[in-house]
Amino acid sequence: ITVIPPENIKSTKILTHVYPGFPTDMQSQWTCLMTLSDGISTIQDTIYYDRFSHIPELNRLGANIVLKDNIATINGVKSLVGTNVMCTDLRAGAALVLAALTAKGTTKISRIYHIDRGYEDFDIKLEKINVDIKRFNEKEVWNNLLQNSYIKYLFLLNNSHKLVSEYLSSINSIT
Residue 130 above 80 pLDDT?
yes
Confidence of residue 97 (pLDDT cuts 50, 70, 90): very high
Query: Nearest CA to 37 among 5, 82, 84, 71?
Result: 5
In DSSP terms, 172 is beta-bridged to: none
Residue 11 above 70 pLDDT?
yes
**Helix axis angle, 90-102 relative to 27-34, nearest 10°?**
20
- 0.85 surpassed by pTM: no
Report the chain's mean pLDDT, rounded to a whole number. Answer: 82
Query: Nearest CA to 60 among 25, 101, 99?
Result: 99
